[in-house]
């Protein structure tokens, strides 16, 4: 019998690659803007391949690509009838991907996110949110997921509705907030206070994902770690967001003046991209600070994930192709390389 998420976290860090929207948009299978994962129905093989690449890179978790495949997102593109098939297909693709790697002890999770209809002043929307979370959690449960993540939610009270839906279904709940510029939830709680309230409401893991890059995410983690006793999660976006603009939703690329509208989010963030080593540093700092559910959100690619796995002392499958510059024709040190080339490396 394999261990559940909490038992795994009790033993040490768990790595989770997510952020499929951006990866699919870059590959030409998903439209920026509405960001609806229709790709799970139109090109399931592409989703399977991304899962495969993340698993090979060391992700312990296969997160079903149900993110933003919820009722409100499908309504806005006029395809609400696709809701159930989309959700079920995403869950099946995740499980099938896990099953390709029988030797690895992978966990599959479902996912719910910000509904975009939640309004604290309109109780009717709370009931609508609850229904949206419940239907998704139910499909995830039927698919036999190991746990469910509620993520990129900015309101504590919306998160509480999501958490209740997950716990009522008898599942392990991971609750990750996205925190805006002023470092509070939209209902005015500090991340630490909001996470503590979730822990008191039964959350198994609490923390942060999306919105902020590694440094601006790390900035908020000590307060959470101090206030809760459960496991803490951190899954930043791999972009160099700053004190001035901590969220990737508002970013300027000073090196470029041809971005339509001037905002580099979401499709022109390339120049602000974190490299693999920056993500590895973030991973090590998480370990030092006892953050155990470590991952990466929008913008993630397998090379980041592999370096994060290596930072945890692991050798994932794709470690087979880990860089070895000693054999590079000009920069290498292998004794069989020609001096004709190595001697001029600095001039190239």
- DSSP state string for 294-321: EEE-TT--HHHHHHHHHHTT---GGGGG
Sequence-distant (6+) residues with CB within 8 A of 301 are 23, 238
**Phi, psi for 180 (deg, rounded to 5):** -75, 180
Sequence-distant (6+) residues with CB within 8 A of 135 are 71
β-bridge partners, 232: 206
Q: Considering the complex, what minimum distance in angstroms separates the CB of residue 152 from Zn ion? A: 6
In angstroms, the CA 212 to CA 237 distance is 6
Nearer Cβ to Zn ion, position 192 or 295? 295
Q: Considering the complex, what minimum distance in angstroms separates the CB of residue 331 from Zn ion? A: 35
Sequence-distant (6+) residues with CB within 8 A of 261 are none
Q: Considering the complex, what minimum distance in angstroms separates the CB of residue 257 from Zn ion? A: 27
Nearer Cβ to Zn ion, position 161 or 210? 210
Nearer Cβ to Zn ion, position 17 or 161? 17
Biggest CA–CA distance in the chain, Å, is: 75
In angstroms, the CA 230 to CA 195 distance is 10
Nearer Cβ to Zn ion, position 5 or 298? 298
Nearer Cβ to Zn ion, position 111 or 204? 111
**Residue 50 and residue 39 in contact, taking contact as beta carbons nearer than 8 Å:** no
Provide the binding-site residues for Zn ion, judged by CB under 5 A: 19, 210, 297-298
Nearer Cβ to Zn ion, position 169 or 291? 291
In angstroms, the CA 114 to CA 7 distance is 28
The DSSP output letter for 104 is S
Q: Considering the complex, what minimum distance in angstroms separates the CB of residue 150 from Zn ion? A: 13
In angstroms, the CA 133 to CA 22 distance is 23
Nearer Cβ to Zn ion, position 19 or 58? 19
Neighbours of 37 (CB within 10 A): 25
């Amino acid at each position: 019998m394999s261990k559940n998420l909490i038992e795994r976290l009790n033993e040490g860090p768990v790595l989770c690659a997510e952020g499929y929207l951006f990866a699919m948009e870059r590959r030409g299978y998903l439209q920026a803007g509405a960001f609806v994962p229709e790709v799970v129905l139109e090109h399931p093989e592409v989703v399977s391949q991304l899962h495969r690449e993340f698993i090979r890179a060391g992700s312990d978790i296969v997160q079903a690509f149900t993110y933003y495949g919820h009722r409100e997102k499908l309504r806005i593109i006029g395809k609400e009838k696709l809701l159930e098939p989309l959700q079920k297909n995403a869950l099946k693709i995740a499980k099938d991907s896990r099953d390709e790697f029988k030797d690895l002890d992978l966990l599959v999770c479902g996912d719910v996110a910000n509904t975009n209809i939640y309004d604290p002043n309109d109780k009717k929307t709370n009931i609508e949110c609850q229904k949206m979370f419940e239907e998704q959690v139910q499909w995830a449960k039927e698919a036999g997921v190991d746990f469910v993540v509620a993520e990129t939610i900015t309101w504590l009270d919306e998160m509480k509705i999501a958490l209740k839906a997950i716990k009522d279904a008898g599942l392990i709940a991971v609750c990750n907030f996205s925190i805006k510029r002023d470092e509070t939830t939209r209902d005015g709680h500090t991340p630490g206070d909001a996470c503590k309230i979730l822990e008191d409401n039964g959350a198994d893991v609490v923390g942060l994902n999306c919105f902020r890059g590694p440094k601006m995410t790390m900035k908020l983690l000590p307060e959470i770690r101090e206030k809760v006793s459960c496991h803490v999660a951190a899954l930043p976006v791999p972009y160099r967001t700053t004190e001035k603009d901590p969220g990737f939703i508002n970013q300027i690329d000073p090196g470029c003046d041809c971005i339509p509208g001037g905002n580099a989010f979401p499709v022109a963030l390339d120049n602000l991209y974190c490299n693999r080593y920056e993500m590895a540093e973030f991973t090590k700092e998480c370990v030092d600070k006892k953050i155990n559910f470590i991952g990466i959100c929008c913008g993630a690619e397998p090379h980041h994930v592999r370096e994060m796995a290596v930072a945890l002392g692991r050798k994932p499958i794709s470690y087979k192709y880990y860089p070895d510059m000693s054999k590079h024709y000009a920069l290498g040190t292998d004794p069989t390389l020609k001096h004709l080339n190595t001697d001029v490396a600095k001039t190239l």
